[in-house]
Amino acid sequence: MMQQYHALKREAEGCLLFYRMGDFFELFFDDARQAAAILDIALTSRGEHDGQPVPMCGVPVHAAEGYLARLIKAGCRVAIAEQVETPEEARKRGGSKALVARDIVRFVTAGTLTEDALLEPRRANILAAVCEVRGKAGIAACDISTGRMEVEECAPDDIGAALARLGASELVAPEDWASAPDNAITRPRGDFGSDDGEARLKSVHGVATLDGFGQFTRAMLAAAGGLIAYLDHVGRGKLPLLLPPVAHSGSAALAMDEATRTSLEILQSQQGSRAGSLIAAIDRCVTGAGARQLADDLAAPLMDAAAIEARLSLVHWLHDDPLLRADLRDVLRSLPDIGRALGRVVAGRGSPRDLGQIRDGLAEARRLRDFLAARPDRPQLLDSILPHMGGHGHLVDLMQRALVAAPPTDCGQGGYIAAGYDAALDELRAMSGNSRRAIAAMESRYREETSVAALKIKHNGVLGYFIEVPARYADVLMQPDSGFTHRQTMAGAVRFNSVMLHEEAARIAQSGGHALAAEEAHFEELTAQVIEARQTIAAAAAALARIDVAAGQAERAADGGWCRPAITQDNCLNIEGGRHPVVEAALARSGERFVANDCILSPDDRLWLIGGPNMGGKSTFLRQNALIVLLAQAGGYVPATAATVGLVDRLFSRVGASDNLARGRSTFMVEMVETAAILAQATTRSFVILDEVGRGTSTYDGLALAWAAVEAVHGTNRSRCLFATHYHELSRLAESCDALSLHHVRAREWRGDLVLLHELAKGPADRSYGLAVAKLAGVPKDVVARAKSVLDRLEKGRAETGGLAAGLGDLPLFAAASQLQGKDADELRDHLDTLDIDALSPREALDMLYELKRLAGSTQT
């Protein structure tokens, strides 16, 4: 057995090996140690290997999905080794001691899950493959639970942004690619050939040319080839559902880099959870498919004004008819997830229940189509998707006749083919039922003949049917002429057989076996019909999801008083009464009101410099306007009184501070990398939000960097921009930057306490209120008092010297940064160079301080 195990373990290629032994999946050696720690199950041992006990742990086959889910979540990959023959077949092949043959039937990995128990209903599960061909990066991605597949070509430097949009659970790349992402699973380079990729796509879809699907570059085809080869490998030759690939154009969607997506917390918060994210605040979809479609919309907002307006018109239609919206959402709420059911069927992991879900979902889609088609003044987008919700009449009727109302998940027990569908099957079931009634009659007869009232005829999976009596009555059945044959003695009971029971059991087994075989044949026929119609079924699922998204967006807008944005090609952003959807929802839960603010940007007033205290709402204001742009271009209503959004090609957000120690980057380095990306990529049609640029370094350096960044965004990038800062000196840029205006978040001090008003006003901030915020944060009073005395001294020095920005009017900046010049500076430097601090006595140290003050030109002693 260990030889067989080690051979399979080599095939597993670094995966944990689930080795089937009867009703358990067993793990051995290091696999057992790792799995036992993750699953918190007992680690035992079995036999010896090289003189040492073999570590072992196991999980029941019937509960394996739950354990697999925990292992996958922990980052493991699992190979499933099943018994591919019965013990009887093994004995026929090799005698009584023959080992049952086993083989790896499937690899379970994060990106190749289809089971409901292993998937999040409201989140797509993306597998992506990436490679480079002739200086271009190719990306292929699919969600095998629904079959959706897309391909993309981009510059190698843009791979990170593209993968951030996809949010892949698993990534595959060529093994010899030096630029492969760190978290990628490597596969042979030969899997990523563009010619092979084209051939694989043609084979999967049974076509002679891909022209009907669109135009694909060599990089796209190479990535698609790598993706399909990996799916073929993990499925052991059984490919999952793959719909025709869609070529994703980077110019068709609002571009956002990884830092921006993280900063705006679109699909998950910075803590990694759905709670606190944008989608959690706006998702009102009633189906998992709708929630997944909404996530796709938010991840890739549109750049096509006509397509945006089409989505908005559907939302508007449902928003203005609350009764229709309520009825529609009630119907959608009852629908099964036919997209994922279809994925399991095509992958060979389908059950009768999956067929039942497809049947019920398609039947309801057809009724919903007829209901909506009868409504007047339908929006264009609805008219375009309604035809996909019908056309399955023959398949639905077939499955309604063939399947019971609530089919089971297990094929092995039968009972899922409806009575009346197959007369021969009905006859087999009748025979089986008659035989069971005959066994009941036999049990009654044997009780009378033996006078043993406690006699029972039972059944189990090992013995089949048998007669059981309490041990004290066994002698009656043990008599040679009793007609009973002893089979097994138990504690307190004895089991017997009889010729009549054996014959009746054989008839039951035969008829039951034939009935199961007949049902399995019908299941395969129905599965084949579903697979044949997979593309139209998937289109129906997509249509239902799109309607659910629109209805959910309309519901959210009605609940929150949101407005329909006007989309324009003008380079503007006019938002009246804008709010942050996540913050507003959080405040509402605590009974507080969100303070709305306007944001009016135009070519002549495209850059706002915003000052004011920490906690005053600057970052919230920046983010809320970025989110309003994103929501509008995703085709939804926005949290504002009114909004006009000039189409944005790229959205940039540099808000907040964090480090990336794994990549050797400090907080300030991360800030500068993100700022550099903005200054290098932002265009006149971009929207940029920048918060506290330069705060991670010294005052002079930080101010200089912030000053230069504002000038670059204003004069070079010419983007629409909101720039929050504590550097009051930047207000002087309004004198030289004609499209820059000054704003601040309002605050007041009342009886020594700071009152944050969260309102935006024109003009520069009078101060930062940093000490007041420190007091609010609980900084000790003596520290705040000391800070105030230091601040007074600094402000006095600023008044006397003209302040930090006194020399900024003419570049180069800070030409007179040091007040020490010439001989005085040299004398002070020499003094410091010869100073041995460790050798100074307290008195000498004090004298040295006086001397240094004298050299610096201070008159105070």
Domain boundary assignment for the chain: 2-108, 116-248, 283-392+533-560, 423-526, 566-768, 822-856
Question: Domain 566-768 has what CATH class?
Answer: alpha beta
For the segment 285-318, what is each residue's pLDDT rounded down to a tens digit? Answer: 999 999 999 999 999 999 999 999 999 999 999 9
Q: Which of 705, 699, 641, 642 is nearest to 672 (CA)?
A: 705
DSSP, res 479 = S
Question: Which percentage of the chain shows pLDDT scores above 70?
Answer: 92
Token couple for 75? 């980052």
Mean pLDDT check: name the lowest of 50-54, 446-450, 805-809, 811-815: 811-815
Measured between alpha carbons, how far is 291 from 467 in angstroms, rounded to an integer?
A: 56
Is 60 exceeded by the pLDDT of residue 335? yes
Whole-number Cα distances in Å, 186 to 80, 171, 341, 693, 706: 20, 9, 30, 38, 42
* Top-confidence residue, 18 or 84: 18
* Mean pLDDT score across all residues of the chain: 88
Using alpha carbons only, what angle is made at residue 342 by residues 340 and 348, rounded to the nearest 5 degrees? 105
Is 70 exceeded by the pLDDT of residue 754? no
Does domain 283-392+533-560 bear CATH number 3.40.50.2300? no
Mean pLDDT check: name the lowest of 600-614, 708-722, 771-785, 845-859: 845-859
pLDDT band at 91 (very low <50, low <70, confident <90, very high): confident
pLDDT band at 616 (very low <50, low <70, confident <90, very high): confident
Mean pLDDT check: name the lowest of 334-348, 461-475, 693-707: 693-707
Measured between alpha carbons, how far is 523 from 526 in angstroms, rounded to an integer?
A: 5
What's the mean pLDDT in 447-472? Answer: 90
Looking at residue 817, its pLDDT comes to 37
Is 70 exceeded by the pLDDT of residue 802? no
Sheet containing 493-498, strands listed edge to edge, beginning at the edge strand earlier in sequence: 456-460, 464-470, 493-498, 484-490
Question: Domain 423-526 has what CATH class?
Answer: mainly alpha
- Say if residues 765 and 756 touch (Cβ distance below 8 Å): no
Phi, psi of 723 (to 5 degrees): -125, 110
Is 70 exceeded by the pLDDT of residue 662? no
What's the mean pLDDT in 218-226? Answer: 96
Looking at residue 439, its pLDDT comes to 86
What's the mean pLDDT in 116-134? Answer: 93
How distant is the alpha carbon of residue 158 from its chain centre?
Answer: 20
Looking at residue 826, its pLDDT comes to 64
Looking at residue 634, its pLDDT comes to 98
Looking at residue 812, its pLDDT comes to 39
The set of residues, in sequence order, having a beta carbon less than 8 Å from that of 56 and lying 6+ positions away, is: 26, 27, 28, 32, 43, 44, 45, 46
pTM: 0.84
pLDDT band at 819 (very low <50, low <70, confident <90, very high): very low
Give yes or no on whether 423-526 and 566-768 have one common fold.
no
Token couple for 840? 């100074």
Pairing of strands 185-187, 246-248: unpaired
Looking at residue 295, its pLDDT comes to 97
pLDDT band at 783 (very low <50, low <70, confident <90, very high): confident
Looking at residue 521, its pLDDT comes to 94
* Top-confidence residue, 694 or 652: 652
The DSSP secondary structure of 265-292, one letter per residue, reads: TSSS-TTSSSTTSHHHHH---SSHHHHH
Question: Domain 116-248 has what CATH class?
Answer: alpha beta
Query: 2-108 falls under which CATH superfamily?
Result: DNA repair protein MutS, domain I (3.40.1170.10)
What's the mean pLDDT in 573-592? Answer: 95
